[in-house]
Structure 1
Amino acid sequence: PDSGKRFWTSSHFLVHEQIHTEERPFRCPTCRKGVNCNSTILTHQCIHIRERRYECPKYRKSFSRSSHLTQHQQRRH
């Protein structure tokens, strides 16, 4: 399906195209969750190792994803 998105390179298009399929070629070695992008697995693995790189200095709370810190800041600050 054409989602209307445009990409600078064909490789970016191919990665995006997997979103529209059931293909999940990358697996988490810990829980075997399948995803369509290798970088998603790297982010997902932070759950298992409890790595929290993004810290809110005001509340001293940390998050595994920058987007979660951003959401926290939008809601609490």
Structure 2
Amino acid sequence: CGDCGKSFSWSSHWERHQRIHTGERPYQCGDCGKRFGRTSHLYRHQRTHAGGQPHVCADCGKSFNSTLHFHKHQRAHAGPRHACPDCGKAFADGSALAKHRRVHTGEKPFPCPQCGRRFGVSSHLHRHLRSH
């Protein structure tokens, strides 16, 4: 940056940074008109108009900041749609079933880069890595 000397790996980050110096605030709140230099700041602000949580589940009242998490939660109310062919346990989404299937197949796709021991769940690998 010619103004402050800060360097950036990505031109988009440099362009966003320039708004600090120019004062440009291209993102405007549709509710109150307040302007922001970053979309993330606008989204955070918009939660104030929605009582802090913009997505509320009509089935159970649970609220979410993230649209992705809200939609994933709503699928859970639709009931389990993915059943394990080995044991019959049912899951709301296919990725949870895929993880569960490793119990039956013995698949361990997460190897330790230091000792080679393999794990079926990534969090178990991360816990193991602390032992090295």
With the length of structure 2 as denominator, give the TM-score of the two structures.
0.46
Could you say which residue in structure 2 is the equivalent of 1:8?
67
- Residues 72/22 of structure 1: CA separation in 2 closer, same or farther (3 Å cut): farther
In structure 2, C-alpha distance between the alignment counterparts of 1:31 and 1:62, rounded to whole Å:
24
For residues 67 and 80 of structure 2, the distance between their equivalents in structure 1, rounded to whole angstroms, comes to 23
- Between the two proteins, what is the percent identity of the paired residues? 28
Q: Which residue of 2 aligns with 1:44?
A: 100
For residues 3 and 73 of structure 1, the distance between their equivalents in structure 2, rounded to whole angstroms, comes to: 35
Give the structure, 1 or 2, with the largest relative contact order (CA under 8 Å, sep 6 or more).
1
Matched residue type, 2:73: H
Aligned partner of 1:70 in structure 2 is 126
User: How many residue pairs are counted as aligned between the two chains?
Assistant: 72
Give the Cα–Cα distance (whole angstroms) in 2 for the partners of residues 49 and 69 of structure 1: 18
Larger radius of gyration: 2
Q: What SS is found at the alignment partner of 1:29? A: coil
CA offsets per residue over residues 34-53 of structure 1, 9 Å max, x none?
A: 11211100111112111111
Q: Which structure 1 residue ranges, 5 or more long, are not aligned? A: none
2:99 partner amino acid? T
Q: Which runs of 4 or more aligned residues in structure 1 lie more than 6 Å from their structure 2 counterparts after TM superposition?
A: none
Alpha-carbon RMSD across the aligned residues, in angstroms, is 2.2
What is the distance in 2 between the residues matched to 1:71 and 1:2? 34
